[in-house]
Amino acid sequence: MLKFFSRALASLQQLGLLAAVVWMTTLPAHAAGSVVPASSMPWWFWPLALFVTCFLIGIVAVPAGIGGGTLFVPIIGGFFPFHLDFVRGAGLLVALASALAAGPMLLRGGLASVRLALPLALLACMSSIVGALLGLALPASVIQIALGLIVLGIVALMLAAKKSEFPHVAQPDRLSSALGIHGVFVDGASGRAIDWQVHRTPLGLVVFLLIGVMAGMFGIGAGWANVPALNLLMGVPLKVSAGTSGLVLSLVDSSAAWVYLNRGAVLPMITVPSVVGMMLGARIGARLLHVLKGSVIRKMVITLLLFAGLRALLKGLGVWI
């Protein structure tokens, strides 16, 4: 019975993703110029479509291990009639809301380290403001092209990057020792206490400086970059990397979101349906997490990202308008 239920849920999930792809390909396409052609649909159609799309994105984002914001900007920017300024503003709020919703649970579960997150977040917060100011100053077509390239880069990273559950750190670096960045977490799967420490902290700080610029410029959150940087570069255990990434995001996206808010680039009619749809979808996605094949969902999301990345690139170049 349980097996049948699991299979049914998995089929439902795959059907959901397929529906998302079909749904998006049927939405009218819009130009990448600084003014996007107005839609002839009634005003309520697009917020409703946005809610449904974000709900579907939320469902697939959790099992695929990717932040909803990463899927949001290329998909909504590519297939909805909103200007990219407002899409990025909403994208940051979507990524922020997801990080804020998960943060307390991750902290209480010992999966996010405050001592590790704070120095990284300090630099990334500052650079995300620079990224947001740059993003709002550059022409929309330039941002679309850069966004397309970044999303295709994320696809490459997802395909190529290996993960290490418990990386071996022989010797912590001096900076991490001085800051007391180390800890113990109890692995829920094995019940073992894992004693972790980090290395290459100065390089990690530089990487997070760049991550902050990208997060602010494109409004896509940065979990896709945070986790490999923490896990593969600094040697943080995978689960602690994922948890700490959320904590860093909650601070980085806050500072960039204020820049968009102050520039007037946060439209409630775009932002609120997106945030609510994504949060509801993510709750269902989290419940389906145990019954779904993560690898299958991951491959489907990579395909979706590849499609959205190519769309953003070609739209920016004026090839696919």
Partner 1 sequence: MTSEKLTAAQQLHAQEQRDESQRYAFLLDWSTRLGVLALLLAFASYVFGILPPHVPLDQLPSLWNLPVDSYLQRTATPAGWGWLALAFHGDLSNLVGIGLLAGSSIAPLLGLMLLYAKRKDWVYAVICAVIFAVLLLAASGLLTGGH
* Beta bridge mates, 196: 183
CA nearest neighbour of 96 among 298, 278, 309:
278
Provide the 10 A C-beta neighbour count for residue 214. 23
CA nearest neighbour of 177 among 200, 160, 159:
200
> Is residue 195 a contact point for partner 1 (CB under 8 A)?
yes
Restricted to residues 211-250, the positions that interact with partner 1 (CB under 8 A) are 250
> Is residue 197 a contact point for partner 1 (CB under 8 A)?
yes
- Nearer of residues 129 and 296 to partner 1, judged by Cβ: 129
Restricted to residues 252-311, the positions that interact with partner 1 (CB under 8 A) are 254-259, 261-272, 275-276
Provide the 10 A C-beta neighbour count for residue 36. 18
Angle between helices 84-108 and 68-79 (to 10 degrees): 160
- Nearer of residues 260 and 307 to partner 1, judged by Cβ: 260
User: Which of 4, 160, 193, 290: binder of partner 1 (CB under 8 A)?
Assistant: 193
- Nearer of residues 9 and 269 to partner 1, judged by Cβ: 269
Helices of type H across 109-139? 114-137
Restricted to residues 109-168, the positions that interact with partner 1 (CB under 8 A) are 110, 112-115, 118-119, 121-122, 125-126, 129, 133, 136, 140, 166
What values do phi and psi take at 182, rounded to 5? -165, 170
Least Å from the CB of residue 22 to partner 1: 24
Provide the 10 A C-beta neighbour count for residue 63. 24
Least Å from the CB of residue 273 to partner 1: 8
Cβ distance 252 to 121 under 8 Å?
Answer: yes
Region from 13-21, 97-105, 150-158, 297-305 binding partner 1, contact rule CB under 8 A: 97-105
> Is residue 1 a contact point for partner 1 (CB under 8 A)?
no
User: Which of 60, 83, 152, 311: binder of partner 1 (CB under 8 A)?
Assistant: 83
Q: Which two tokens stand for residue 284?
A: 């269902």
User: Which of 85, 208, 292, 315: binder of partner 1 (CB under 8 A)?
Assistant: 85
User: Which of 72, 82, 208, 307: binder of partner 1 (CB under 8 A)?
Assistant: 82
- Nearer of residues 3 and 108 to partner 1, judged by Cβ: 108
- Cα(274)–Cα(52) distance, rounded to whole angstroms? 9
Region from 9-17, 146-154, 191-199, 287-295 binding partner 1, contact rule CB under 8 A: 191-199
CA nearest neighbour of 318 among 140, 104, 112, 127:
140
Region from 6-14, 149-157, 251-259, 296-304 binding partner 1, contact rule CB under 8 A: 251-259
Least Å from the CB of residue 80 to partner 1: 9
Count of residues engaged in binding partner 1, rule: CB under 8 A: 79
- Cα(34)–Cα(141) distance, rounded to whole angstroms? 7
- Whose tokens are 């300090």? That residue is 122
Least Å from the CB of residue 284 to partner 1: 18
- Nearer of residues 30 and 200 to partner 1, judged by Cβ: 30
Restricted to residues 29-58, the positions that interact with partner 1 (CB under 8 A) are 30, 34-44, 46
- Nearer of residues 225 and 270 to partner 1, judged by Cβ: 270
Q: What is the 3-state secondary structure (H, E, C) of 209-272?
A: HHHHHHHHHHCCCCHHHHHHHHHHHCCCCHHHHHHHHHHHHHHHHHHHHHHHHHCCCCCHHHHH
Q: How far out from the chain centre does Cα 110 lie?
A: 22
